[in-house]
Amino acid sequence: METSILIAYATRYGSTAEVAAAVGSRLRELGYEADVVPARDVRSLTGYAAVLLAAPFYIGSLLKDAQSFLTGHRAGLERLPVALLTLGPVRATDDLVEARRQIDRALGKFAWLEPVAAEMFVGKYDPSLLRFPDSLVAKAKPSPLYGVPATDDRDWDAIRAWAEGLPALFGLQ
- Residue 157 gets which letter from DSSP? H
Q: Domain with 32 in it: what CATH number? A: 3.40.50.360
Rounded to whole angstroms, how far apart are CA atoms 158 and 152? Answer: 14
Amino acid occupying residue 82: V
| Burial of residue 160, with CB atoms counted within 10 A of its CB: 0-12 exposed, 13-18 middle, 19 or more buried | middle
Predicted local distance difference test score (pLDDT) of residue 45? 97
- Mean pLDDT of each 10-residue bin along the chain, 173 residues long: 87 90 97 97 97 86 92 97 86 64 83 93 72 67 68 90 97 89
Question: In whole angstroms, how far apart are CA 68 and each of 43, 112, 120, 145, 162?
Answer: 12, 15, 20, 26, 25
Greatest Cα-to-Cα distance within the chain, rounded to the nearest angstrom? 54
DSSP H helices in 3-45: 15-29
Fill in the amino acid letter for 97. Answer: V
The identity of residue 119, as a single letter, is E
- pLDDT of res. 1: 47
Closest C-alpha among 131, 128, 120, 127 to residue 154 = 120
Note the pLDDT of residue 104: 82
Residues forming a β-bridge with 58:
61
The tally of domains found in the chain comes to: 1
Of residues 127, 119, 126, 130, the one with CA closest to residue 165: 119
How high is the pLDDT of residue 103? 79
Q: What whole-number distance in Å separates Cα of residue 86 and Cα of residue 62? A: 8
- The sign of the CA dihedral 76, 77, 79, 85 is positive
Q: Which domain holds residue 28?
A: 5-169
pTM for the full predicted model: 0.87
